[in-house]
Structure formats: C-alpha cells, structure tokens
Amino acid sequence: AKVLLTGSSGFIALHVLDQLLAAGYEVVGTVRSDEKAEPIRKELAKEHPNGKYQFEIVADIAAPNAFDAVFQKHTDLKYVLHTASPFSFGLTKSNEENYLIPATHGTKSVLESIQKYGKNVEHVVVTSSFAAIVNRDRSGDASFINDEKTWNPITWEEAHNDAALSYTASKKLAEKLAWDFIKENNSTFKLTTVNPPYVFGPQKYSFGLARASLNTSADFVNKALKTTTDYKGPFAQPAGVSCDVRDVAKLHVLPLGKEEYHGQRLFPINGTGYGYEEYEDGKFNFERILRTLQETHPELKGKISPGGIKDNEAELAKLTYYKNKITTDLTKLKFYTFSDTIHDAAKQILDFEASQ
C-alpha cells in the first residue's frame, strides 16, 4: 500500500520512514526542498536498497492548497501520516507565525487535499503531542491523571505571549481541528493521533547530528553531555514526561489497516508497557538526565555535571501525573525505558564525536 509521510526529514519522521519501508510500504515523503531529500536518499540506498520511495517538495505546509499537487499526482495513496509541524524554539517571527499558523493551517491543508483528491485514502495518522493532553495547571496533583481522554484546556489568547505555551497551544488546536474536520465533513477516512511527550533517543541517521542544533528535545541529552563538573544549573529544568523516538515511530505504523485504532489517541511513555501499571519511569528533569548518563556511561563520571538536587524524587513528584493504559492495552507494546533511551541517544552522540 502507498503511504504519504509529511515532513519526512524530521527527527521522528526519519524513524517512521525506516519502519514503513521495513514493513514493505511504498512511501511518498514530503520535504521542504530537494536539498533536504538528498542525504536521506543516500542512507536509504544503503539501508533499503529494494525500498519503494520517492520525495515530493512541499516548501510550506501552511500555504493554501499546499498538498493539492501531491494528492492529484498520487491518486492511489491509501494512508497519510502527517508529522510536519514546527518544533524549534527561538524562531524569529511572531508566535502566531512560528507556531499557530503552520501547525493549524498545515493540518487543515492536508485534510482538505485528502477530502478533495484523496479518494482512496482510508486512514490518516496525525502527530499530535502530549501538549494536547496535558493539564499543566494540575501539575504535582496526583489526583489528576492525564491520559488519552484528557485535553489541554489552554486557549490561544492565554498562550500567544509565550513561545513555549504557543507551541503547546498550536499542537492542541491543530489536533482539535483534525477531529472536528472529519466530523464536520463526514470524511470517509479515519483518524488516529499519536500524542508523544518529550521525544528522546537516537537520530535515525547520524547526519542529523551534524546539524548546528538538534531538535529541541534531542538536544537536552546533547546539552547534558556538554556540561562540566562545575555546572551551576538549572537542574530542575527542562523537565517533563518522556518517550523514545523509536516507539513514537512504531505508533505511526502499527495502526495502518487496523480498525481498532480508528478514533484513538496513542500516548507513548518511557518504561510503560502492556500488563503492568507503573508510570514513574517517564518523568524526567535535567538532573535525571545527568544522573542517568553517569549510570549508562560510567566513564562520564568526573567529566560532566554530577547534578545538584539532593532529593530528586521530590522534585519529579511536582510534575504532571499520567497513565497510558488505553495505548498499552491496544498495542500490547512494552516501551523503551528512560535509561535505554538516554543510553542509546548518548552513545550515538559520543560515537559520532569520536569519529570526527
């Protein structure tokens, strides 16, 4: 079957692309420019010599009718995985132009093109976020559990003056738009969303490491590796809930062709899995990244910051509470542990640096 993968040069999407090809799907990937496709083609030629794939240029997902030409050309697309969305803080334009417009217009424009031209599309998977689930005002409150059924109550008016809040609001509003769209248009295709919290883990291809800055979440491990023993903090930030990029990719591919995933929001978390309810392993802060690195790579002891928080359990208890039983019951998966995710991400960075 033929699958469209938007934003296929992204951190998450490159893992999705790999898993789609390994599963035998034919892939049409959108990228912003041919320059972005070139290094991917080189890697795929090595890893998937018999894989069926091609790239199409969609320079700006937020432009009106951005995806029309793609769907007019590829009338046999059966599945659409929409991962493209801006995710880098420190962009230069207004929060509206950096986040809200690309995220919501991008999602709308894919869905509109499918509605118009994607007659054979059966199922769409949209990469949403834990940002669309989380009730941040209930952080530290163990009586409020964020899960596949909860929604971030934030409005654009509350978010627009702050870049981080704008990102979270843009993801919530883009996901909501998708669910509303299929209802309002009586769409024949079905929808599933993947709602990852902070995504860690290795880049699919090490050319990703050569970029000036890594994607925000992947860069936390990089930053921790670059600390020195006299680093003064902050240790409590960044903090949040985490998952592994390889699990996120799996949750994009697994639902294809399976009715039980229609209408579901899938929520991966480090250390969770089918058959046991243990939800502590996915809570992280910078302190935990530093400590974990020294456990997984003992040679880093005495080189990077040892951390600075005495009772980190108490610190982590201030974060949001969550569960993902719907996801683990449905998928029967066991997700990567925080330690394995951090280990693999760090190993890739350290090996890459040693090879330079």
Helix (H, G, I), strand (E, B) or coil at 72: helix
Site for ligand NDP in 155-174 (CB under 6 A): 171
Assess 62 for contact with ligand NDP (CB under 6 A): yes
The secondary structure element, H or E, covering residue 159 is helix 156-159
B/e letters for 244-278, b = 16+ CB within 10 Å, e = fewer, are: bbbbbbbbbbbbbeeeebeebbbbbbbbbbeeeee
Sequence-separated (6 or more) residues with CB below 8 Å from residue 180:
none
The secondary structure element, H or E, covering residue 244 is strand 239-244
The secondary structure element, H or E, covering residue 165 is helix 163-184
C-beta of 98: minimal distance to ligand NDP in Å? 9
Assess 102 for contact with ligand NDP (CB under 6 A): yes
Instruction: Give the residue, chosen from 5, 37, 86, 288, that forms a contact with ligand NDP under the rule CB under 6 A.
Output: 86
Tokens 């683990």 — which residue? Answer: 328
Instruction: Give the residue, chosen from 18, 44, 83, 252, that forms a contact with ligand NDP under the rule CB under 6 A.
Output: 83
Instruction: Give the residue, chosen from 115, 127, 294, 305, that forms a contact with ligand NDP under the rule CB under 6 A.
Output: 127
Phi, psi dihedrals of residue 13, rounded to the nearest 5°: -60, -35
Site for ligand NDP in 200-219 (CB under 6 A): 215, 217
Catalytic residue, chosen from 78, 108, 171, 204, is 171
Sequence-separated (6 or more) residues with CB below 8 Å from residue 186:
none
**Contact range with ligand NDP by CB under 6 A, out of 83-91, 265-273, 305-313, 317-325:** 83-91
Assess 107 for contact with ligand NDP (CB under 6 A): no
Token digits of residue 256: 């294809």
Identify which of residues 120 and 222 has a Cβ nearer to ligand NDP in the complex: 222
**Contact range with ligand NDP by CB under 6 A, out of 6-14, 230-238, 324-332, 344-352:** 6-14
Identify which of residues 208 and 273 has a Cβ nearer to ligand NDP in the complex: 208
Tokens 């990077």 — which residue? Answer: 304
Helix axis angle for 338-355 and 286-296, nearest 10°, is 70
Identify which of residues 294 and 320 has a Cβ nearer to ligand NDP in the complex: 320
Token digits of residue 42: 């080189």
C-beta of 272: minimal distance to ligand NDP in Å? 16
Identify which of residues 217 and 331 has a Cβ nearer to ligand NDP in the complex: 217
C-beta of 241: minimal distance to ligand NDP in Å? 10
Helix axis angle for 338-355 and 216-225, nearest 10°, is 70
Site for ligand NDP in 232-291 (CB under 6 A): none
Identify which of residues 281 and 294 has a Cβ nearer to ligand NDP in the complex: 281
Q: Assess whether the previous peptide bond of 238 is cis (omega < 30° from 0).
A: yes
**Contact range with ligand NDP by CB under 6 A, out of 45-53, 57-65, 138-146, 180-188:** 57-65
Q: Where are the beta strands (DSSP E) in 59-152?
A: 77-82, 123-127, 145-146
Is 334 an annotated catalytic residue? no
Catalytic residue set = 171
Which positions lie near ligand NDP, rule CB under 6 A? 7, 9-13, 32, 36, 58, 60-62, 83-88, 102, 127, 129, 171, 196, 198-199, 215, 217
